[in-house]
Amino acid sequence: MKAMHSGFVKVLTVLICIGAIAAGMISLQRNHVETAARTVEMVYDYNNIIDSASVEKKTPDELFSLYKQSGITSLAVYDETPEKLVNHNYLKVYRGSDFAFRNPSEAGRIDKDKIYIQQGSEDNSAEYFGEVKEHLNALLRPEDLEEHQIAGTDTLEVNGAYDKFMTMPLGIFKQSIKNAAAKGFYVVVRPSNIPHVTQDDVQLFLDAVSSSDKVSAVIFQGKEALGYKSQLKYLAGGLQKLKIPVVLIEAQNQLGFERQDGILDLARYMDYDVVRLYAMSKDELIKISPDEAASRFYISDIERNIRMNLFPSYKFAADGKTLSETNAGYISDVKQRLEEHGFSVGKASIMEPYFPNSIARAI
C-alpha cells in the first residue's frame, strides 16, 4: 500500500514539474515580449494647446515647449469642422444674408438662404480653403456645392443649414497634420467614421495621413472605426503600407476594449499591429487630484501593458498655476514615475503578437 502511495506521489510530482516547466516557458516568452516593448507614447490635444495660449498670456510655442518638457511626445489631431477653422482664422463663413450685406454690389448673385465660404487671414489659409473644397466635394451632393468669384475672391456656396453646417465633421486635414508635426511632435490622428463610407472617403483620409512621416498612430472617435462596414480591409492595407498602427482603447472596467464597431476586425486585417491606450474622461479627471491622476496612468502603463496615454485637461487651474501648468504638472509626474521604473517616453512600442503554444497551454 505504501509502495502504491509512494509511486502515485512520484508520478504526481513529475506531472506537476512538467506543468510548471510548461507554465514557466509561457511566462518567459510573454515576459520577453513585454520587456522588449517599454516605450510609452504620451498624447495631448493639439488644438487645446493653441486655444489655451490665447487666455494665458503665452504664445502657442511657449505652451508647446511646456508640454514637450512635461513628457508629451505626440499631438492629437481631430476632424476639422467649419467652426474650428473659423475660430483659428483659416476660413470665413457667412450666412447668405450677412454676405449680401457685406457685398452690396454682388447682392444680386447671393442667395440669402445659402452659406458662403472664403479663405481666412491666417498663414496656410489658402491650403485650408483648398482642402475644405476637396472634402465638401466628397461629403455633399454636387448640386449643394458651387464655386464662384465674388468681389474678386474665390468663394464656395453651400446649400445647407448654417448651424448644422458649422459643426459638420469635415475629416482629417493634411495641413493640420503638417502644422502639428512642425512643432516637433509625433501626430496621432483621430478620425470618425462616415455614413455609407466609400473607398474614396478612406483614400482621402490615407492621403492626409501620408502627408507627414510623423504620424504615429490612429485612434478612432465614436462607436465605429473609419471604414466600417465595407472599407475596413482597404483601410488596413493602406495603413500597413504606411506602417501606422491602430489604437485599441482600454474599457473603463479594464476588461477588454471600448466598443468600436469594426476595430477588432481591423486589428486582425493588420496582423495585430496595434497599440493599447489608456484614457480618462474630463468628467472623471476633475473628481481626483493631479497626484491620483498621475498614479492611474502610471499604474495602467506598468501593470496592463498600456503603451499610449491620452491625457485629458482639467477644467480649472490649481495651486496658483495656470491651467496649462496644472495639466503639464500631472503629465510630468507620469513621465518621471515611468522613467524611474525603466520605461521611456516616445513613439509607442508595438508588442509582437504572442499566442502561447497550444500544447504547452494544455499541459
More confident residue, 90 or 360: 90
Q: What is the pLDDT of residue 182?
A: 97
Q: What is the pLDDT of residues 69-91, one digit of tens each?
A: 999 999 999 999 999 999 999 99
What is the predicted pLDDT for the residue at 20? 72
Percentage of residues in the chain having pLDDT higher than 90? 81
| Best CA proximity match to 192, nearest among 216, 224, 239 | 224
The percent of residues above 70 in pLDDT, for the chain, comes to 90
Q: What radius of gyration do the chain's Cα atoms show?
A: 26
What is the pLDDT, as a whole number, of residue 30? 55
Per-residue pLDDT band for 329 (boundaries 50, 70, 90) equals: very high
Q: For residue 347, which of 40, 70, 76 has the smallest C-alpha distance?
A: 40
pLDDT at 28: 57
The per-residue pLDDT for range 175-216, each reduced to its tens digit, is: 999 999 999 999 999 999 999 999 999 999 999 999 999 999
Q: Residue 158: which H helix or E strand, with range?
A: strand 153-158
Q: How much is the pLDDT for 218? A: 98
Stretch(es) of the chain classified as CATH 3.30.200: 81-169
Residue 95 CB partners (closer than 8 Å, separation 6+): 112, 115, 162
pLDDT in tens, 309-327: 999 999 999 999 999 999 9
Determine whether domain 81-169 maps to CATH 3.30.460. no
**Which pLDDT does position 32 carry in this prediction?**
46
Could you give the CA distance from residue 210 to residue 169 in angstroms, rounded to a whole number?
20
In CATH, what number does 32-79+171-362 get? 3.20.20
Instruction: Give 240-296 pLDDT, tens digit per residue.
Output: 999 999 999 998 876 678 999 999 999 999 999 999 999 999 999 999 999 999 999
CA dihedral 261, 264, 267, 269 (to 10 degrees): -80
Comparing 263 with 28, the larger pLDDT belongs to 263
- At 217-230, the pLDDT tens digits run 999 999 999 999 99
Phi, psi for 161 (deg, rounded to 5): -85, 125
**Where does CATH 3.20.20 sit in the chain?**
32-79+171-362
Lowest mean pLDDT among 143-157, 330-344, 348-362: 348-362
- Taking only the tens place, the pLDDT of each residue in 125-164 is 999 999 999 999 999 999 999 999 998 999 999 999 999 9
Helical segments of the chain, H only: 2-35, 46-53, 60-70, 82-87, 96-102, 125-139, 162-166, 174-181, 199-209, 232-242, 263-269, 282-285, 290-303, 323-340, 358-362
